[in-house]
Chains A and B, each alone.
Chain A
Amino acid sequence: MSEIHIDEILEAVWTEMEEGRDAVEGVLDIAEVEEKHEALELVKKAGFLVETGGRLKLTPEGERRARLIIRRHRLAERLFSEVLQLETHHIESNACTFEHLLSPEVTESVCTFLSHPPTCPHGKPIPRGECCEKLKPHQKPLVMRLSDLAPGDYGRIVFITPKNHARLDRLGSMGIMPDSVIKLHQKRPSYVIEIGETTLAIDSEISNEIFVRKV
């Protein structure tokens, strides 16, 4: 039995607990491991979990570990869905792999890069990490979507993740490229941006694909 098995069990327990459930059967149902019973025993033996009358409870140590797994999984989901725009089934399978691989440093970087997102794409909370706590209310997030700027704000384009190449070329021909500074003029009824002395109306979809650093 490897670490991965422990992680999977703990992840399942956390997920069930979020829904207010703690039955052994429920956890075993959703845990993505083979030989589930052996895995459960192992986790209990390692001191992460106690079972009383068919109900499970995380020990403080188990909770700390589960928290980090869930955090890595949901951050990965967010990274895949938003920045890489993978399709749903790819997001899930890749996030499951990533949660076991990400080192603490990389996790912090991903979290910062995504501006410490509070929830995963499914709307479930992402447990906060150390980097999030350092984040003061006034501190600027590192990279944000153009659509998350407030009207009147300026942002320097960091990267663009277009749906297709044609869109990228078209944006490029209007001067919308990494390193250019753009101003968000308004969000409704359409997004309007200013770049140099050019004013452009753009799709809200495009404004979701332009990532900027606020200046």
Chain B
Amino acid sequence: MDCHDKSQIGKESGKSGDESFPRAALAGNPNVGKSVIFGLLTGKYVTVSNYPGTSVEVTRGTAKLPGGNMTLLDTPGVNSFTPMSEDERVTRDILLKERFDAIVQVGDAKNLKRVLMLTVQLAEMGNPFFLVLNMGDEAASRGITIDYEKLAGVFGVEVVPAIATQKKGIDRISKAIRNPMKSAFSLRYNEHIERGIASMEPLLPESGISKRSLALMLLAGDNSLVSWLNSEVGLDVVKKIELIRQEVDDHFSESLGYVISHERVRAVEGVVRQVMTTETVRKTSLAVRLGSWSMHPVWGLPILLAVLYAMFVVVGQFGAGTLVDFFEETIFGNYVNPWSEKIVKALIPIPILQELIVGEYGLITMAITYAIAIVLPITGAFFIFFGALEDSGYLPRLAIMMDKIFRVMGLNGKAVLPMILGLGCDTMATMTARILDTKKERIIVTLLLALGVPCSAQIGVILGMLAKVSLAGTLIWGGTVIGVMLLVGFLAAKVLPGGESDFLLEIPPLRVPKITNLLVKTLGRIEWYLKEAVPLFILGTFVLFVADKIKLLEVIERVTAPIVVSFMGLPAKAAESFLIGFLRRDYGAAGLFKLAEAGMMDGVQIVVSLITVTLFVPCIANFFMIAKERGVKMAIAMSAFIFPVAFLVGGLANGILRGFGVTL
């Protein structure tokens, strides 16, 4: 959930990279600490979490190092430079299409074998690089010792041990980045493959990586290269290359990609045996045991419930209760609003302008009050809680618990990650859908995020309102929203073409969240929220103000009355909340919050209105993100589907609840 990176969507943030500086890129396996090191070298914060796939885009920054500045790139993690998903492709394409003076390979010291699989490929690419072995503390606690000197000797590049979260090794990295070396390590493959490489090399174009490396990727059957190659050398040469590939392929019963990585594994295992020793560590730490319990078929459930309950306490009771009371009643009720009213009335003699600022639909009395006094405290509480959850490594374990449920919707446990991230910010989560392998899954996740996953700002307001209704009301709301998502997901899975992908997800170790990272991350997200949401709140309020003045609001309320009042059984004024809910549904929810506070809705009405607004498209930004990631047509089609469904479900819920005479 890299909410505050929103400004960089669509392009890599190019603003802080000066092209005249030497250039370096961070690359490595997922979840090994590339973003931490990037942050330490550039002073620029990139969201750091404890699950693979936190970074799905490239971030650029300037590292101020002894001896001059450098442009540094942080890339999404990969397990192979022959990409298997969109985010992996981003990294390979960067290495292919750009030139770097240095590549910094970051690896997890306790997973040396997987690190060196990439090292072998980097050596083949022929770029100057060096290796950082991060998380030395975790490796040591598992009884792993690595002979760094010997490893450096094998590959002919510098190997720097590091513990990035404690800033250990950073000095050496900032020196090593000046003197990277081309690796002397060269793996000789099976003779058929070598012959294939030799005949392919003359046909290949110049690029950021060596022809040998490019040939190996092509032999491995990397189709993502074809369109690039087509534009570089033309269709005829591409056909020749494919012929060579097929000729080599005929010599093996297994796929060439597999044969190549098998040879790499064998070579890497030889190196690992030379440089790494493992002592058996007998005691299992509490974190390891807790990590096991949290994905246990039986114990996992009480842990999940405990996490949900903790969220309810932190966000619903503390955030929406204590904090909102304090901000709304004390700060805004007693000070900000009365004072600004006095000041405005004293300074501005024109009544209509007074009303614009402090009236019923006033910028301060409505927009700022909603944004700062109601939504911000709740969202802030959520950001802290959610950040802790992200950094603990619990989220991938949740994916294990929910895999079966997600299969109903044509997805698997891997899709749990973007969906849960949607609880933070649906817009960013829409982008994270890239970690999924098939287009079908990305579409389903995007649709479900837009349809039913309430984002932090909204979930807070909703929990705050539901806490005052009843547990039954909360369950009806949750059950309805989840039911609609399951149904829509199920149908979408049936209707959409395309297959399901494999569930294969790396589970990071459980870690104690670092307070500093938690604070920086939360502050970054709050800043994002203020920048992103407040202007829309102000715009929405202004629209309401104008609509009210020209009596349009009355018309809208009259026109929508058959739906809002008759079908959904809500007060006519709820139409206002739905109207601003089109901009941001948390803003709509905040309007409903006020209605409920004013005692204008009973329990059933609150639940019905919340169901409806939860099923709205999250916000304008989310709409644009869908358009960017999935195309404008898709964004419009999804919206055209979602809004009617929201009102339909709300109306049905009303009919059923009233029909059975339920009171909440």
Contacts and interface: CB of A to CB of B under 8 A. Distances in A.
Contact of A173 (B79, B255, B412, B505): B79
A192 B114 contact: no
Interface string B384-400: 00000000000010011
B111 A192 contact: no
Contacts of A199: 506-509
B503 interface: yes
Contact of B292 (A185, A189, A201, A205): A185
Contact of A174 (B114, B257, B401): B114
A178 B295 CA distance: 27
Most central of B144, B412, B505 by chain A CB within 10 Å: B505
Contacts of B657: none
Nearest to A204: B503
Contacts of A206: 502-504
Interface in B231-274: 254-255, 257-258, 261-262, 265
Given A168-B258, A169-B261, A189-B300, A200 B505 contact: yes
Nearest to A171: B504
A124 interface: no
Contacts of B418: none
Contact of A196 (B111, B292, B505): B111
A168 B300 CA distance: 30
Given A171-B504, A189-B400, A203-B504, 8 more contacts: A169-B82, A173-B84, A175-B265, A190-B403, A196-B113, A200-B506, A201-B399, A205-B502
A102 B300 CA distance: 49
A201 B399 CA distance: 9
Given A172-B258, A173-B80, A200-B507, A189 B502 contact: no
Nearest to B79: A173
Given A166-B84, A206-B502, A189 B262 contact: no
Contacts of A196: 110-111, 113-114
B371 to A, nearest CB: 39
A207 to B, nearest CB: 10
B297 A186 contact: yes
Interface string A165-187: 11111111111011010000110
B295 A173 contact: no
A52 to B, nearest CB: 54
Contacts of A198: 111, 114, 506
A29 interface: no
A202 interface: yes
Contacts of B404: 189-190
A192 B507 CA distance: 9
A45 interface: no
A182 to B, nearest CB: 13
A175 B504 contact: no
Contacts of A89: none
A196 B115 CA distance: 12
Interface in B284-332: 292, 295-297, 300
Contacts of B254: 168
Contacts of B84: 166, 169-170, 173
Given A186-B295, A190-B503, A201 B114 contact: no
A201 B297 CA distance: 13
Nearest to B254: A168
Interface in B497-528: 502-509
Contacts of A172: 80, 257-258, 261-262, 265
A190 B261 contact: no
A170 B506 CA distance: 12
Given A198-B506, A201-B504, A169 B255 contact: yes
B300 to A, nearest CB: 7
B1 to A, nearest CB: 21
Contacts of B258: 165, 168-169, 172
Contacts of B142: 197
Interface string A21-58: 00000000000000000000000000000000000000
Given A170-B504, A172-B258, A202-B504, A197 B403 contact: no
Nearest to B399: A201
A192 B220 contact: no
B400 A192 contact: yes
